[in-house]
Each structure stands twice: as structure tokens, then as C-alpha cells.
């Protein structure tokens, strides 16, 4: 392979990668997937404390609405 063909190939690859970096076609879909993944992790991490707090709130409401005999 001659030097000029190697240089030409490197130039075409550089142009390809520059154009690839400029391409934002699927960026919003990927961003939404990342946000959904972060929301799922946050929900899984805080499910038990939130569940306990909601149960406490509704137990208090129930106790206020239904008098004990």
C-alpha cells in the first residue's frame, strides 16, 4: 500500500468520524432511555421508605375518620 493511499484512507476515516460525531439523529431517544433508567433506579431505591410514609399517612387518616369504640 502506498503512502498516498494510506493518507487518503486516514482522511476518509477522519471525515467519517467527524460526521458521525455531528449526527444527532437518535440522540433524543437515547436521552429519554437514560432518563427512564434513572427514574427506575430512583423508584427502586426509595420504594420502601415512600411506601412506609404513605402507609403512615393513610393510617392516620383512617384513625381520624373512623372512631375507635
Position 26 scores a pLDDT of: 65
Low-confidence ranges of the chain (pLDDT < 70): 1, 24-27, 69
Position 33 scores a pLDDT of: 82
Position 27 scores a pLDDT of: 67
Position 14 scores a pLDDT of: 86
Q: How far is the CA of 14 from the CAs of 5, 11, 18, 24, 67, in angstroms?
A: 14, 5, 6, 18, 77
Position 37 scores a pLDDT of: 85
Q: Other CB atoms closer than 10 Å to residue 21's CB: what's the count? A: 8
Amino acid at each position: 500500500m502506498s503512502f498516498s493511499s494510506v493518507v487518503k484512507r486516514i482522511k476518509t476515516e477522519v471525515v467519517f468520524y467527524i460526521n458521525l460525531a455531528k449526527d444527532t439523529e437518535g440522540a433524543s431517544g437515547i436521552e429519554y432511555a437514560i432518563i427512564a433508567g434513572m427514574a427506575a433506579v430512583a423508584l427502586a431505591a426509595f420504594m420502601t421508605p415512600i411506601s412506609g410514609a404513605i402507609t403512615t399517612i393513610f393510617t392516620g387518616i383512617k384513625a381520624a375518620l373512623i372512631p375507635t369504640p
